[in-house]
Chains A and B, each alone.
Chain A
Amino acid sequence: MEPLNTVDLSAVKLTIKLATLTTILLLFIGTPIAWWLARTKSRLKGLIGALVALPLVLPPTVLGFYMLVVMGPQGPIGQLTQALGVGLLPFTFPGLLVGSVFYSMPFVVQPVQNAFEAIGERPLEAAATLRAGPWDTFFSIVVPLARPGFLTGAILGFAHTVGEFGIVLMIGGNIPGKTRVVSVQIYDHVEAMEYAQAHWLAGGMVLFAFLVMLSLYTFNGSSNRRMS
């Protein structure tokens, strides 16, 4: 028996594509949010921080349900996307991507925010007195010093997207090649009593998750030693 059939393989490919795009988007969207959260003295900090962290505690089905409503034909985002001529997002890959970005946001924002906070005020001030403007300082000082935070955020964001299930089911449904990712595929195999097929995918996920955590702990361990 083939370990993975074509449907399985397409689910794996889709999962990797979704996780990669989600991670890239989150690095672009999450970095300014993390910077703002790390630097602001605004009273809105708590509010925004809590909103970003919400997916950590909400059941994915709840988040997925509300996103479905908001992106649906009657929801504000649904009306907007229709007006823009892109149609409706639910049950499409872009819709899944939007859902993943929200769902994995805290896993990217928080490590990056912590890294920004750990840098402190002093290196930024030192750079300013050495003629570096704000953007120059950000790219020449902040980004390199926060590298461990970016790496941790990227790894966690990627891995967490790979592992999502509830939100995919709510927003994406279960359309082969479009929204059927590995976690959903495993569910289908189990439903159909195809335990051998389920094992191949599930075992692969366990291995993947373990390698991610191993690399994270090894990497953070060595960078912590270097810092101290």
Chain B
Amino acid sequence: MSKENIHAVFSLALSGFSLDVKLDLPGHGVTALFGHSGSGKTTVLRCVAGLIQAPGGFLSVNGEVWQDDEQGVFLSPHQRSLGYVFQEASLFAHLTVRKNLEYGQKRVPEKSRKVGFEQALELLGIESLLARRPEYLSGGERQRVAIARALLTSPKLLLLDEPLAALDQKRKNEILPYLERLHDELSIPLLYVSHSLDEVAQLADYLVLLDHGQMIASGPLQETLVRLDLPGAFTEDAGVVVETIVGAHEEADALTRLDFSGGLIYVALRPESVGCRLRCRIHARDVSLTLERPAATSILNVVPATVIGTAEAEPPAHVLVHLDAGGTPLLARITRRSRDRLGITGGLAVWAQIKAVSLLG
């Protein structure tokens, strides 16, 4: 049990569902619990919060034991230094936004308050909402208040249970930047439950994949996304996350150049200034391979790469190819026939043509 991690062992048998996980997660940054509905990700989060007691379970968070049933230790949720943001609005309807925010803060001893009231307001952009009642807030505003309310308890761990799932795309886009700021500006570890790979790709540093109550993979985001041994359910939407830096704006063509370790890619002109970090996601289905550098192609982004390995994918006509582009992992989805015709196998040098890049944030 190290001081710098979250260690959790939970098993539960409910009717029609069983959970059996043993997790060793980093004690900092954003860890995403990803899986389809029914995979047990919310149950894991509720066990971490103590809202459910998994019999015989164990949980330590950066050195503090919250549950150790062998020793008869189980802290109630209100005794755990955590923040919890629920999927749907959970603001107290009889209190104004200000009173909601103060509810948790005033229950924390003054010397443990690390997040300031003004700081939380500013971080979530809710300064103008203080006097309102929850019923007069939009869904996105409610979630921002709920996040600020959780932060104001200065938690040692912040749990977010699909905080964006109940919102439409517009509201999601309204909140995501605030979540990114949490990540960048506070040193509170986040456990983020989601079934959206886009959200995960945008926010997470570390990824845990859950399926039917079992952990099927876990590791740093980039490494885990390119693992070829995962079941088809995850490879359907397979893709990688690439950390880039804005290299230049080429206004004449309305393009922005993004630099990464494997080369450079061009995207439609971005508002971020040169030098900014930008995450983007490249889907395996948007990457095709050629053996020689294509001379005449309309595809703008072509980077050299080396084949690491290949794996079967769904449907069976396809295979996934794991590539290394100057240290950045990439995935390509090509047909089995193309693989055989081009003789694609580990160690081969190829050119990856990237048809589309989705920018996160």
Q: Which A residues contact B (CB, under 8 angstroms)? A: 122-123, 125-133, 136, 140-141, 144-145, 147, 226-227
- Contact status A123-B78, CB under 8 Å: no
B260 interface residue (CB < 8 Å to A): no
The residues of B that contact A133 with a CB separation of less than 8 Å are: 76, 78
In the complex, chain B residues 166-189 whose Cβ is within 8 Å of any chain A Cβ: none
- Contact status B94-A132, CB under 8 Å: no
Complex Cα spacing A36 to B92, Å: 22
With A126-B84, A145-B93 already in contact, the answer to whether A131 and B51 are too (CB < 8 A) is: no
26 CB contacts below 8 A, A to B, read A122-B86, A122-B88, A123-B90, A125-B77, A125-B86, A126-B86, A126-B90, A126-B92, A128-B51, A129-B49, A129-B83, A129-B150, A129-B159, A130-B78, A130-B103, A130-B149, A131-B104, A131-B108, A133-B76, A133-B78, A136-B78, A136-B107, A144-B94, A145-B93, A145-B94, A226-B135
The residues of B that contact A130 with a CB separation of less than 8 Å are: 78, 103-104, 107, 149-150, 153
Min distance, Cβ B103 to any Cβ of chain A, angstroms? 5
Among A122, A125, A131, A226, the residue within 8 A (CB) of B153 is A131
- Contact status A131-B107, CB under 8 Å: yes
Min distance, Cβ B114 to any Cβ of chain A, angstroms? 14
Residue in A closest to B84 when the chains form the complex, CB atoms: A129
Complex Cα spacing A194 to B83, Å: 70
B82 interface residue (CB < 8 Å to A): yes
The residues of A that contact B159 with a CB separation of less than 8 Å are: 129
In the complex, chain B residues 60-96 whose Cβ is within 8 Å of any chain A Cβ: 76-78, 82-84, 86, 88, 90-94
- Contact status B92-A123, CB under 8 Å: yes
Complex Cα spacing A100 to B149, Å: 46
Total A-B pairs, Cβ < 8 A:
61
Complex Cα spacing A129 to B94, Å: 18
- Contact status B78-A131, CB under 8 Å: yes
Most B C-beta atoms less than 10 A away, residue of A126, A128, A226, A227: A126
Complex Cα spacing A162 to B77, Å: 45
The residues of A that contact B90 with a CB separation of less than 8 Å are: 122-123, 125-126
Most A C-beta atoms less than 10 A away, residue of B49, B78, B91, B107: B78
Among B51, B104, B108, B149, the residue within 8 A (CB) of A125 is B51
Min distance, Cβ A118 to any Cβ of chain B, angstroms? 11
The residues of A that contact B51 with a CB separation of less than 8 Å are: 125, 128-129
Complex Cα spacing A126 to B159, Å: 12
In the complex, chain B residues 132-170 whose Cβ is within 8 Å of any chain A Cβ: 135, 149-150, 153, 159
Min distance, Cβ A19 to any Cβ of chain B, angstroms? 29
Contact with A along B230-250 (1 / 0, CB 8 A): 000000000000000000000
The residues of B that contact A147 with a CB separation of less than 8 Å are: 94
Residue in A closest to B49 when the chains form the complex, CB atoms: A129
Residue in A closest to B51 when the chains form the complex, CB atoms: A125
Complex Cα spacing A125 to B150, Å: 13
Complex Cα spacing A141 to B104, Å: 12
Min distance, Cβ A36 to any Cβ of chain B, angstroms? 20
Residue in A closest to B108 when the chains form the complex, CB atoms: A131
Q: Sorted from nearest, which 5 A-B pairs have the closest CB atoms?
A: A130-B104, A129-B84, A131-B107, A128-B77, A126-B90
The residues of A that contact B103 with a CB separation of less than 8 Å are: 127, 130, 132, 140
The residues of B that contact A136 with a CB separation of less than 8 Å are: 78, 107
Complex Cα spacing A131 to B107, Å: 6
Min distance, Cβ B144 to any Cβ of chain A, angstroms? 15
Min distance, Cβ B191 to any Cβ of chain A, angstroms? 13
Residue in A closest to B91 when the chains form the complex, CB atoms: A126
Most B C-beta atoms less than 10 A away, residue of A128, A131, A136, A144: A131
Residue in A closest to B106 when the chains form the complex, CB atoms: A131
Among B76, B88, B91, B149, the residue within 8 A (CB) of A128 is B76
Complex Cα spacing A128 to B81, Å: 11
Complex Cα spacing A211 to B84, Å: 46
The residues of B that contact A141 with a CB separation of less than 8 Å are: 92
Complex Cα spacing A140 to B103, Å: 9
Residue in A closest to B107 when the chains form the complex, CB atoms: A131
Min distance, Cβ A49 to any Cβ of chain B, angstroms? 24
The residues of A that contact B77 with a CB separation of less than 8 Å are: 125, 128-129
Residue in A closest to B155 when the chains form the complex, CB atoms: A129
Complex Cα spacing A186 to B76, Å: 57
